[in-house]
Structure 1
Amino acid sequence: MTVAVDSVTLDFELPAEAAGRLRRLPAIAALRSGRARGATTSTMWFDTADGRLAAEGLVVETPARGPRLLLRTLPEATETWHPARPPAVLRRLAPDELPEEAGGDALAAIAAFAGRQQSFRLDSPHGAVQAVLQDGKLRSLATEKAAARLSLSGPMPAVLAAARGIAAELPLLPPLAALAEEGRALAMSLPARAHRLGAPDTSAATTAEEAFLVAAGHLVEVVRQQSARIRQDAPPEPVHQTRVALRRLRSVFRVFRATTDCAVLRTLDGKFRDVLTVLGPARDWDVFLGGIIRQVEAAFPEEKRIAALRRAAEAQRRDAYAAVLAMLGGAPWRLLLIDAVEMLLTRPWRDGVEPERLAMLGAPVAEFGRSVMDRRWHRLRRAGGDFEALPAEALHELRLDGKRLRYAAEVFAPVFGAKAGRRFLRRVAALQEGLGLANDAAVARGLAAKLAKPGDGGRAWAVGVIEGWSEARVVANRGDALQAWRQLHGRDRFWSEG
């Protein structure tokens, strides 16, 4: 069973320009004890010529001082993970030793880091924290870039308090990739591979609590990864995937509420809901511009009134993205990520919990998953019992029930077997897509109304076209939702024992 730890090491990244300000922060200066130690530092990373180690998420690290190490820089898919976790040291290597994972092939340097390392101690009411700041440049044969990393080690409350004190003033965040992985990516002129993306893999979990930790830790990491890719000039996908990850995470909180409910999780859930509120308008304008506006433009390619409506919508999108970026650049966002890491490390749902809840935490994950999936499945089937006669409001609620079922299925499908789970998820997704058209149309009508200008007949015409087009799509596609509903049969219940 995974257990909470009393001491911890957490890694963070800082912009290079912020690293020089770290030790001067009042929150840090007040806690510093003794003299800081500074020295030059350098590290080289090695792989085979064909990248065999990297393909397995491994690298050989050789620092100027200290042992040669085989590191896991990319965690295994089923491993319990949380942001800010340092790369795992698999073993020490002799100076000329080839790890067996290299398959007998020689190693070559792929990237290096060189710069300054400063070590200093922070004494807090929670205990002593050892801080190590590396500030320098990542280098490959062809290029280089600035990089700074901060490692904090010590009693968990002290480390978390120090991280919060820094994050309140400087853009301190969990790293998107291990430094060695960033070096490899620099050398290959590729993006660094993310620790986690997509839906969680709970196939190795044995208890309800383990499944929660795997799923929640995975999704907090995905939120960090996807939100970091949001830019004004970026495609819509990062905003969309950040919202998906947050919705999945909040669904995990609800799926496991019978076992992990506590004030800390409810507070986190509320804060993540507020983040979704900021992301929502950006996503809505992305869908509006990439969906119905594009379709109407194709139907009226030379219509200036539609082109003017697009320009007005693009201005609204820029404002919505500015609000998102302001949120992501602020201290509350950084502190929220640290709060989420603390939740994963300390497991507050165990504080003062009664024996019955402890037993539920240790329940077999398959047993727990069946009970959750049965409840959500029967709720969906009851809500859609007279599908063809349901009014728009009931179809909207049915869509939400389908979404809840789908998110729960994503958590438990790996436990019961991927193949049957994939088929079920495809059919629930088809139902959601069919039912989602009505919701998309309602959103599009609301956005179009926001673009109306009093006294502007051309704008009124364009808004009317959008509203009519939206309604026509709903009528034309209602049959798709009905077909998807009929295809969602009881035999698709991958979690059923019968």
Structure 2
Amino acid sequence: MERELKLELLQDQAEGLIGLPLVSSCCVEPPHEDRLVSTYFDTSDLAFRRMHASLRVRQAGEHFVQTLKTWGTQHGALYEREEFESAVPENTPDLGALRDQLPVGTALGTLLREDDLAERLKPIFITDVRRTVLLLRLPQGDEVELAVDRGVVRANDATEPIRELEMEIQAGEPAHLSAFALRLLDAVPMRLSRASKGDRGYALVADEANEAVRAQPLRLADAGSAEAVFQCIAENCLAQISGNERGVVNGSNPESVHQMRVGLRRLRSALDIFEPLLACPPALQSDLKWIADELGPARDWEVLANATLRDAFDGAPEDVGAGAVLAAAKAVAADARQRAAQAVNSDRYTRLILTLSHWLGSADWRHGLDEAQRAALTGPARDFALTTLRKRQRRLLKRGRGMAKLDEQRRHRARIAAKKLRYATEFFESLFAANKVRRYRRQLSRLQDDLGWRNDMAVAEGLLLRLATERQQLAIGCGYARGYIARAVSVDRQPLRRLWKQFKAARLPA
């Protein structure tokens, strides 16, 4: 299993980085430099890429090594993925050697055993880099290979520069990589690397969209401790956040903004749930709120432009000026996406993810705990989960009393309580009987979805007022849309009353 942390150098500062006292003081042997030329192979229909894998043959001097890499997972700044390596005599893959390493029952194993695969393989792109390698021993004793790459990826006439730092843990704790990277960042400007060399090459040969990444289902151990469950939940949230960074930075997929924002809300909810057992540093909490706030306007304007206004102007008279309002809202949404991209590509965000990765990986919350607190952390997760769900259900039932008649502020507080209960239910559902959780979650989800829709309408109302104030020529169209919103919310009163009644009758899983 390969475990590495990758950062992009913003300037050609490779020599300065290698010469840093911080780096030289950790070196266990002098650095060495190689020229690495890697040829990536695939079929015409990109069969390996479609399986989220890459196959390359790398030449270093007179030696050739083939490597098959899987997609793997990204947890904040750390990548983990399987790779299969073997020496080959020339710049051509040896499929037989790879078949010996991959099981028959896997998708990649099946692909490698296709009779005509060798004939279908062809070079797709090449990376040509000058790599400086240093072997480090960190102050904690961890053994790390630090590599600085400068070069280019080339596909036909298209090229893209490569300027990155890779740190691979050879022995020790991966969390220490993040702490060391933060110290490097104080001296050399860098950003999180969100694309492997293979990703960069495929981007030159294929028109690939950045797919939004949703949260993966959680499978928690029945006998796990509360602390172990928190770490599992937090890593799951972080994977969703990190998985959408590329789509947000490229500004190509509004859904990536939404899913990254959902990942942040889930993580902040998890921190709130476990706050009685472990404390997240205030500075980390503040930065998580900052990036969530940076993503918020992009999502709000996207919903207005591509959902709310679309429904509001369906069948509207021509003199309303629907087209002008839609165009203005889409333009603001595009600007908001650019601001979100700048935030995710900033130094502050890079530091946030490195700090969060270190905090989660090192379990820093254990410092300063007394015996009672330690006992609570190691206690059964199921007991903690049940206590949490009961507490959050009581809070929602209290805040939602007379739901359909609540004013906007009180209904907003009920919505927040419903959202927190829903996240807690989703986090812990694998600890309870599936049939009981399913029924309860269905009623809760329906209620929370309706409250969320009402919140979207309230946000849209505010955005339309702002748009009409700033651009007087859009006042009629904005007023028409606001009228639609008022009618829709009014009609929803009875359905909301029914959903609240159904939720109150639902039984909490136990």
Which category describes the TM-score, using the shorter chain as reference length? 0.7 to 0.9
Deviation at 1:45, TM superposition (A): 7.2
State the SS of the aligned residue for 2:220: coil
Distance 1:171 1:147 in 2: 13
One-letter amino acid of the counterpart of residue 74, structure 1: G
Q: Whole-Å Cα distance in 2 between the matches of residues 147 and 428 of structure 1?
A: 48
Determine whether 1:173 maps to 2:192: yes
Offset at 1:429?
A: 2.2
Distance 1:455 1:135 in 2: 49
One-letter amino acid matched to 2:347: A
- Which of 8, 19, 22 is matched with 1:14 structurally? 8
Counting only pairs closer than 5 Å after superposition, residues 121-140 of structure 1 correspond to structure 2 as 130-136=145-151
Paired amino acid for 1:484: L
My pick for the range that moved more, 243-252 or 228-237, is 228-237
- Which residue among 388, 405, 408 is the counterpart of 2:421? 405
Pairwise CA distance, 1:426: 3.3
- Of 46, 69, 75, which aligns to 1:82? 75
When structure 1 is superposed on structure 2, of 267-276 and 203-212 the one drifting more is 203-212
Task: Using the TM superposition, give the Cα deviation of residue 59 of structure 1 relative to its aligned residue in structure 2, in angstroms.
Answer: 7.1
- Find the aligned partners of 1:418 and 1:188 in 2 and give their Cα distance: 42
Q: Tell me the TM-score normalized by structure 1.
A: 0.79
Structure 1 contact 133–149 (Cα < 8 Å) conserved: yes
Shift of 1:471: 0.9
The answer for the alignment partner of 1:217 in structure 2 is: 235
Measure, in 2, the Cα distance between the counterparts of 1:37 and 1:386.
71
Q: How does 1:92-103 map to 2 (within 5 A)?
A: 97=97, 98=99, 99-101=101-103, 102=109
* C-alpha distance 290-214 of structure 1, shift in aligned 2 (>3 A): same
Residue 24 (str. 1) matches residue 38 (str. 2): no
Rounded to whole Å, the distance in 2 between the matches of 1:352 and 1:454 is 53
Q: Note the C-alpha offset of 1:312.
A: 3.4
Q: Is the deviation greater in 402-411 or in 208-217?
A: 208-217
Q: CA deviation at 1:269?
A: 1.7
Is the 2:72–2:82 contact (alpha carbons within 8 Å) kept by the matching residues of 1? no
Opposite residue 160 of structure 1, the aligned amino acid is: A
1:467 counterpart (482, 485, 506)? 482
1:487 to 474, 487, 502: 502
Q: Retained in 1: the 8 A contact 2:443–2:506? A: no
The aligned counterpart of 1:4 is none
User: What is the CA–CA distance in structure 1 between the aligned matches of 2:396 and 2:162, rounded to whole Å?
Assistant: 50
- Matched letter for residue 167 of structure 2: L
Q: Verify the 8 A CA contact 1:133 1:151 in the aligned structure 2.
A: yes
Match of 1:281 in 2: 297
Aligned to 2:92: none
Counterpart position of 1:240: 258
By how many angstroms is 1:319 displaced?
A: 3.6
In structure 2, relative to structure 1, the CA distance for the partners of 1:454 and 1:94 (3 Å cut) is closer
Q: Could you give the per-residue CA deviations for residues 231-283 of structure 1, whole angstroms, max 9, x where no partner exists?
A: 68634312211211110010010111122224x2x321221111222222222
C-alpha distance 326-454 of structure 1, shift in aligned 2 (>3 A): closer
Matches within 5 A, 1:165-314: 165-166=184-185, 169-175=188-194, 197-199=214-216, 201-204=218-221, 206-230=224-248, 234-262=252-280, 264=281, 266-300=282-316, 302-303=318-319, 305-314=321-330
Deviates more, 1:459-468 or 1:350-359: 459-468
The structural deviation recorded for 1:114 is 4.5
Deviates more, 1:443-452 or 1:380-389: 380-389
Per-residue CA deviation, residues 97-116 of structure 1 (Å, 9 max, x unaligned), is: 43251268267568775433
CA, structure 1 residues 417+189, in 2 after alignment: closer, same or farther (shift >3 Å)?
A: farther
User: Residue 129 of structure 2 corresponds to which residue in structure 1?
Assistant: 115
> 3-state SS of the aligned residue for 2:131?
strand
CA 461–301 in structure 1, closer or farther in 2 if over 3 Å, else same? closer
Q: 1:5 maps to what in 2? A: none
Contact 1:115–1:135, Cα closer than 8 Å, also in 2: yes
Superposed CA offset, 1:208-243 (max 9, x none) = 112111111222232122232126863431221121
Give how far 1:484 is off: 2.0
1:71 to partner: Cα distance: 5.7
Classify 1:169/1:421 alpha carbon distance in 2 versus 1 (closer, same or farther; 3 Å). farther
Report the alpha carbon displacement of residue 411 of structure 1 after superposing the two structures with TM. Answer: 0.8
- 1:78 counterpart residue number: none
Q: Counterpart amino acid of 1:84?
A: A
Q: Secondary structure at the match of 1:132?
A: strand
Query: 1:453 and 1:344, CA in 2 relative to 1: closer, same or farther beyond 3 A?
Result: closer
Q: Alpha-carbon deviations, 1:80-138, whole Å to 9, x = none?
A: x7333343457776875432512682675687754332113679877886421234456
Q: Name the residue aligned to 2:113.
A: 105
Counterpart residue type for residue 498 of structure 2 = Q
User: Which stretch of structure 1 is more off in the superposition, 206-215 or 135-144?
Assistant: 135-144
* Percent identity (aligned): 24
Please list, as runs of the form range in 1=range in 2, the aligned pairs for 1:305-324 lying within 5 A after superposition.
305-324=321-340
Q: Helix, strand or coil for the counterpart of 1:172? A: strand
> What amino acid is the match of 1:152?
M
Q: Is the 8 A contact 1:169 1:331 kept in 2?
A: no
Q: CA 1:146–1:490 in 2, change beyond 3 Å: closer, same or farther? A: farther
**Structure 1 stretches lacking a partner, 5+ long:** 1-7, 76-80
Instruction: Tell whether 2:356 aligns with 1:340.
Output: yes
- Asked if 1 retains the 8 angstrom alpha-carbon contact of 2:55 and 2:68, the reply is yes
**Structure 2 CA distance for partners of 1:231 and 1:297, relative to 1, 3 Å:** farther
Report the Cα distance in structure 2 between the residues aligned to 1:181 and 1:283, rounded to whole angstroms.
27
Note the alpha carbon deviations across 1:262-308, whole angstroms, 9 max, x for none.
Answer: 4x2x3212211112222222222111112332223323252363333
CA 1:487–1:170: 2 relative to 1, 3 Å:
same
Deviation, 1:403, is 0.3
Is the 8 Å Cα contact of residues 167 and 331 (structure 1) preserved in structure 2? no
Give the stretch that moved more between structures: 63-72 or 313-322: 63-72
Per-residue CA deviations over 1:404-432 (Å, capped at 9, x if unaligned) read: 00111111113335554444333222112
Q: What is the number of residues matched between the two proteins?
A: 475
Structure 2 CA distance for partners of 1:85 and 1:276, relative to 1, 3 Å: closer
